Amino acid sequence: MPAVWTYPWNLYAEGPDDAFATLREHGIDTVNLATSYHSVRSLNPRTPDHLFVERPGGLYFDPGDAFAEVPITPRVDDGAGVADQLADLCTRAKAENITVNAWTVCLHNSRLGAENPDFRIESAFGDAHDHSLCPSHPAVRAYFAALTGAIATYDIGEIQLESVGFPGVFHGHSDTFGHDKRSVLTSTTEEVLLSQCFCAGCRETATDLDMGAAQTLVRELVTEAMASPHDGLPSLEALTVEYPLLDDLFSFRASVVTELVEAIADAAGDVPVNYYVGEAFGFDVADLWPTGVRLTELAGHVDRFTALCYVSDPTVARRRLASVQAVVDEPVDVGLTLDPEAVPDADTLATLVEAVRAETDGDVFVYHHGLASDAQLEWIADAFR
């Protein structure tokens, strides 16, 4: 049976009991519920009285004193007027025999970054960015361990991790600026280099790496690219061969991310942990290493992986799934999308579902309940019959 991603405000806008009953009627037995999320503006087609919802980002549960010993304090989003949304929704879901998984966005959170500026990412040029905390800081890793430990006390199926890798520089959510403009950068190589963090946490943690020299090198490469964008830089892989210091920098990133995920997994205790395979530069396995994510290193700490196959071509979906299965032994779930650009009709969704169900040893998730029309919910029901 399928699972769907959803937001707390979608459930409350519909009336949570009615929403869970409707999901069950459509054959859905699991929801991946946002429990820690970034700022968002959402169009909700099935609730015209609440057509647009804007949320600033925060926790959708009461963490109690979980963060008492951590120098980073989260905000609780109480927009629903419910003391503890996660507890309330878990109880209501159980009445319909629906499992709740805790969808947990980690590093990417502009509100958290703006309110904790000492822990933000910082480029080689000294620019700090609110949209992500840097995992090199022990306090940041402690924050996410505390967050996970608090979530694990609820009646949930698993904790699902999004955004554990070092971020791309162009992903800000802010109340002080709008769209990013970046025409001078001509490749992912330049974007990755500009996204490298050299904050105090990185400098203090990288004891076996000359971060000053690495920062100088990255500055020089990015400056060169911006001065002559028509020439372009070599591929990132070629640069790491030409400059071993860059290879060492990315190895350092991987050690930090692995330590973060290890801390999260330890805090989860007996609750399974699932990692969404996708970071700032893409959803393929080959896109992960510039962010510090190496699946073979995470495999010892998480229980499941989710291959995000937001595509229309079943061959591409199967290939992406197989690429994850090739490097990990844990079960691999599959995420599909209802985005009309990828899935314009019921037949496309049905074909995708048939293709990935034949290949996966895990579950199939569909994005996204709150953004779906009534017709699209019917597509899900029909595709999984």
For the segment 291-313, the average pLDDT, to the nearest whole number, is 98
Sign of the alpha-carbon torsion through 328, 334, 339, 343: positive
Alpha-carbon gap, residue 62 to 83, rounded angstroms: 7
pLDDT above 50 (res 262): yes
CB atoms within 10 A of CB 49: 6
Cα distance between the two ends of the chain: 8
Residue that the structure tokens 């801390």 belong to: 263
Among 223, 68, 255, which residue's Cα sits nearest to residue 149?
68
Across-strand partners of 128? 122
For 37-58, what is each residue's pLDDT tens digit? 998 999 999 988 889 988 899 9
Strand partners, 261: none
What is the C-alpha separation between 8 and 13, in angstroms, rounded? 9
DSSP category for residue 127: -
Q: Provide the β-strand partners of residue 52.
A: 43
Tokens of 129: 């960015």
Q: Would you kindly state where each structural domain of the chain is located, as residue ranges?
A: 3-383
Distance CA 158, CA 275 (A): 10
The Cα 135–Cα 138 span in angstroms is 7
Q: How many CA atoms lie within 13 A of 46 on its CB side?
A: 20
Instruction: Label residues 59-86 b or e (16+ Cβ within 10 Å = b).
Output: bbbebeebbeebebebeebebbebebbb
Residue holding tokens 């579902």? 353
Q: What is the pLDDT of residues 78-100, one digit of tens each?
A: 888 898 999 999 999 999 999 99
Q: What is the pLDDT of residues 135-153, one digit of tens each?
A: 999 999 999 999 999 999 9
Quick one: CATH architecture of 3-383? Alpha-Beta Barrel (3.20)
State the pLDDT at residue 348. Answer: 98
286: its two tokens: 């080959």
Measured from the Cβ of residue 168, the count of other Cβ atoms closer than 10 Å reads 21
* Listed range (15-24, 49-58, 254-263, 331-340) with the worst mean pLDDT: 49-58
Tell me if the bond preceding 368 is cis, omega within 30° of 0.
Answer: yes
Number of H helices, E strands in the chain: 14, 13
Token digits for 96? 């319909």
Element (H, E) at 355: helix 346-357
Q: How far apart are CA 187 and CA 189, in angstroms?
A: 5
The mean pLDDT of 286-300, rounded to a whole number, is: 97
Phi, then psi, of 100 in degrees rounded to 5: -110, 125
DSSP codes joined into one string, 203-231 = HHH-TTS-HHHHHHHHHHHHHHHHH-TTT
CB 2 within 8 A of CB 28: yes
Q: Rounded mean pLDDT of 329-344? A: 98
Q: DSSP string spanning 223-258?
A: HHHHH-TTT-PPPHHHHHHH-HHHHHHHHHHHHHHH
What is the pTM for the complete model shown?
A: 0.96
User: Has residue 314 got a pLDDT over 50?
Assistant: yes
Give the model's pLDDT for residue 78.
83
